[in-house]
Amino acid sequence: MCGIIGVTGADDAREVLLEGLERLEYRGYDSAGIALVDADGISRIRIADGTHSVALLREPARALDRGQRAGIGHNRWATHGQPSERNAHPHVDCSGDIVLVHNGIVENYAELAAGLRQRGHEFRSDTDTEVFVHLIEEQMQQGSDLVSSLRNVLQKVRGTFGLGVMSIKDPELLVAARRVSPLVIGVSGEATYLASDIPAILEHTREIIALDDDQIAQLRPNSVVIETLEGEPITPRLRTIAWDVEAAQKGGFEDFMSKEIDEQPTAIADTLRGRIDGDGRIVLDQLDLSDEELRKITHVSVVACGSSFHAGLVAKYALEHWARLPVEVDIASEFRYRDPVLHDTSLVIGVSQSGETVDTLQALRQAASSGAKVIVVSNVVDSSMAREADGVLYTHAGPEIGVAATKTVVAQIVALELLGLRLAQVRGTLTPEEVATQVAALRAMPDIVADAITRNDDVQKVAEAVNDAKDFFFLGRHAGYPTALEGALKLKEISYLHAEGYPGGELKHGPLAVIEPGCVVVAVASSGPLQEKMLSNVAEVKARGATVILVVDDGDEEASAQGDFVLSVPPAPALLAPLKDIVALQQFAYHLARGRGLDVDRPRNLAKTVTVE
Ligand code: F6R
């Protein structure tokens, strides 16, 4: 999720690195650094000053320049260790001869770092990344060259990586390797470039090679050699990029929202990564609550705003069912102005992708002052909420640029459900077998959500069919209820159409009065404990002339027959179903907004982070 840039053979490597980092700034980052490499050594500078970091690098970077032609740079979006200069990349080994940048997560870094410390290595950061340079250092001390060293090290590492590494022993060589985290190589004939994203190098070359998973590349000024991690040679596939920089930043997507919808399987997989150990134990290491403290909890209160509130509502169904704890979910701006009953056995969970939303922040401060344990689910490491809370559960969705939340919401649901399983584990409310079943179901979700995303063209056709409608009602029951709320919020936010979300059972208590021909009712009717009741609600709105769109599981002909239109989704267990049902509703809102010619990334009147009341 961070940005990588590298070059070998450039006339002015420093400028290539700084410009590359500027081109990657759109992704959001908290710190930045570059290292210039030649036979005389590694000159490195890093700055942690939020989105000013690259600009601030420019001046001090001049002093590093002695005409080096190669180097690597990095914009960091913190995952392990707070945003700070010491944690910013590039990282160096103990000798200072090897330098490395990394995107991704090393799942077994704690175990690797413990071994390295025992063998005398000195760590100078709190990152998972640093284990790479020390492991490579050990290999090189035993006589291996840089490529073989990296190859050997990658066999010991569990997790994901996109990385660039250099050594002063062979300063023209830049070695790259990839598993999951994207990397591209650019060739110009004179210099060779490495980047996590095409825009970073587009102004130097349009000739690009995309590195595939489990490949390792050796970049020299006028050559590129690619092999598998096992050493099998790969013939590079060169393609010419026709996009301009802005199109390239969107990775070929029309806008950030569709790109971020597409990134949801990765956001889920990354949020699960490293959190379930070999014995099936849920490991949430930054939670900072002992098993004893988790056992003492008598009640849970979730506070959040907007889409994060909806993620909290989904979690209520899971936490109550699995951990048998009473769970309240509050809108933060209401919670902070009432007089909630909290005590030292209350667990208050703030859910906020930004970690800065002022209502949620204030609600958590209030909760902390009443003695409750406070934890935060945040997508931004070291956000205000994360700094103040007793513990943190980070989502690893990567920066979200579109104002309407998409991938961060599914990541929040996953993080909260992991917490639900952890609570169930320590409190003994689920058997180990039941936890294992839920873990397996969660692990299957990236593929199920990827499958849901492929239905985009069908969703577009349904959206086009109701393009003239002005009133939309979203209905759901059980965990489908927050899904309906999220569908309505997404639609109103980006299409400016009137949309309301209701629990299906509430229909007769008021909303039914406004249902008439011309209204569109979107009902979340994927299979679940209350599907039959949901379909009875559907019959009620159909009888009043509404156009009905049903979200149903593949092959559910009986339910499908009751809708005028159907959004088919792959099946999943009821408590996880929101993760894939939400996808259909995001795409539905997206196509209605696009059909109206609207900017889905920057809806009117809204801001990505709401720091005013
Ligand atoms: C909806 C949306 C907002 C946010 C809300 C909370 O698409 O993005 O409703 O969910 O402003 O923001 P965070 O999660 O940053 O606290």
Summarised one tens digit per residue, pLDDT across range 45-94 is 999 998 889 999 999 999 998 999 999 999 998 887 889 999 999 999 99
Tell me if 306 CB under 6 Å of ligand 1: yes
Q: What is the pLDDT of residues 381-427, one digit of tens each?
A: 778 899 899 999 999 998 888 999 999 999 999 999 999 999 999 99
Q: Which of 309, 353, 400 to mutate to test the pocket of ligand 1 (most atoms within 8 A of CB)?
A: 353
Q: Which amino acid is at 205?
A: T
Check residue 218 and give its pLDDT: 98
Average pLDDT, integer, range 592-606: 93
Check residue 612 and give its pLDDT: 67
Does residue 389 contact residue 374 with C-beta atoms inside 8 Å?
yes
Q: What is the pLDDT of residues 435-480, one digit of tens each?
A: 999 999 999 999 999 999 999 999 999 999 999 999 999 999 999 9
Beta-bridge partners for 49:
51
Tell me if 257 CB under 6 Å of ligand 1: no
Lowest mean pLDDT among 112-116, 206-210, 429-433: 206-210
Instruction: Determine the Cα–Cα distance for residues 135 and 115; give it in Å rounded to an integer.
Output: 10
The band of 316, judged by pLDDT with boundaries at 50, 70 and 90, is very high
Average pLDDT, integer, range 270-284: 91
pTM (2 d.p.)? 0.84
Model confidence at 350: pLDDT above 70? yes
Phi, psi of 349 (to 5 degrees): -115, 115
* Residue 334 per-residue DSSP state: H
Residue 609 alpha carbon, nearest atom of ligand 1 = 15
Check residue 77 and give its pLDDT: 87
Model confidence at 247: pLDDT above 80? no
Tell me if 359 CB under 6 Å of ligand 1: no
Average pLDDT, integer, range 94-108: 94
Query: Residues near 376 by Cβ (< 8 Å), separated by ≥ 6?
Result: 349, 350, 351, 352, 355, 364, 383, 385, 386, 389, 391, 392, 393
Instruction: Determine the Cα–Cα distance for residues 503 and 198; give it in Å rounded to an integer.
Output: 44
Check residue 359 and give its pLDDT: 93
For the chain, how far is it from start to end, CA to CA, in angstroms?
30
Average pLDDT, integer, range 173-201: 93
Tell me if 357 CB under 6 Å of ligand 1: yes
Q: Hey, which residues are catalytic here? A: 2, 608
The encoded tokens of residue 401 equal: 């640029």
Instruction: Determine the Cα–Cα distance for residues 121 and 141; give it in Å rounded to an integer.
Output: 13
The band of 248, judged by pLDDT with boundaries at 50, 70 and 90, is confident
The band of 182, judged by pLDDT with boundaries at 50, 70 and 90, is confident
Does residue 281 contact residue 341 with C-beta atoms inside 8 Å?
no
Does residue 552 contact residue 567 with C-beta atoms inside 8 Å?
yes
452 HSE (CA, 13 A, CB side): 32
Check residue 1 and give its pLDDT: 59
Q: Which amino acid is at 156?
A: K
The band of 25, judged by pLDDT with boundaries at 50, 70 and 90, is confident
Q: What percent of the chain has pLDDT over 90?
A: 84
Model confidence at 613: pLDDT above 80? no
Query: Residues near 576 by Cβ (< 8 Å), separated by ≥ 6?
Result: 417, 441, 442, 445
Q: What are the DSSP E strand ranges found in 104-213?
A: 161-167, 174-179, 184-187, 192-195, 207-210
Residue 408 alpha carbon, nearest atom of ligand 1 = 14
Check residue 69 and give its pLDDT: 97
Model confidence at 167: pLDDT above 80? yes
Q: Which of 349, 351, 385, 610 to mutate to test the pocket of ligand 1 (most atoms within 8 A of CB)?
A: 610
* Residue 429 per-residue DSSP state: S
Q: What percent of the chain has pLDDT over 70?
A: 99
Phi, psi of 589 (to 5 degrees): -60, -45
Burial of 363: CB neighbours in 10 Å, binned 0-12, 13-18, 19+ = buried
Tell me if 603 CB under 6 Å of ligand 1: no
Lowest mean pLDDT among 345-349, 395-399, 578-582: 395-399
Q: Which amino acid is at 168?
A: I
Tell me if 610 CB under 6 Å of ligand 1: yes
Query: The dihedral of CA 64, 67, 68, 73: what is its sign?
Result: positive
Q: From the CA of 352, how far away is ligand 1's center (Å)?
A: 7
Q: From the CA of 464, how far away is ligand 1's center (Å)?
A: 27
Average pLDDT of the chain? 94
Average pLDDT, integer, range 5-22: 96
Q: What is the pLDDT of residues 512-554, one digit of tens each?
A: 999 999 999 999 999 888 999 999 999 999 999 999 999 999 9
The encoded tokens of residue 579 equal: 């993760």
Check residue 605 and give its pLDDT: 83
Q: Which residue has the higher pLDDT, 220 or 247?
A: 220
Q: How far is CA 255 from CA 252, 260, 279, in A?
A: 9, 9, 41
